[in-house]
Amino acid sequence: MRRKDKKVWIKDMAAQRIVRLFHLANESFDEDPGLSKRYVFLARRIGMRHRVRIPPHLKRRICKGCGAYLVPGASCRVRVRGGRVITTCLECGHHKRIPYHKAGR
């Protein structure tokens, strides 16, 4: 295996582990939100260590303020206002604003 191939392989593994950890966070949330927070923490740490980006659809499920796993209706509140989706963490009150493009512009 060439050096570059190995690097790519390691990053690929890291990305897979991140996705896997989010699955676990999702599964454990009902029973133990603290545990899913731990999984999210691990996923972020893997991402940082390997410099792998967390996929955008998963990234918006992490609270930047306290690192909680955000589940709409359970651990966060989601509102649409002024062309933005505002996600409020119910644990620490941190707001996340994500602009979106209206359908058909």
State the Cα–Cα distance between residues 95 and 79, nearest whole angstrom: 11
Three-state DSSP class for residue 88: strand
Query: Among 34, 65, 72, 83, which residue interacts with Zn ion (rule: CB under 5 A)?
Result: 65
Cα radius of gyration rounded to whole Å, the chain: 16
CB nearer to Zn ion: give 8 or 98: 98
94 binds Zn ion (CB under 5 A): yes
Reduced to 3 states, what is the DSSP secondary structure of residue 101?
A: coil
Q: Which is nearer to Zn ion, 21 or 40 (CB)?
A: 40
Binding mask 4-43 for Zn ion (x = CB under 5 A): ----------------------------------------
Q: Which amino acid is at 23?
A: H
- Comparison of 47 and 96: residue with beta carbon closer to Zn ion: 96
Q: How many residues does the chain have?
A: 105
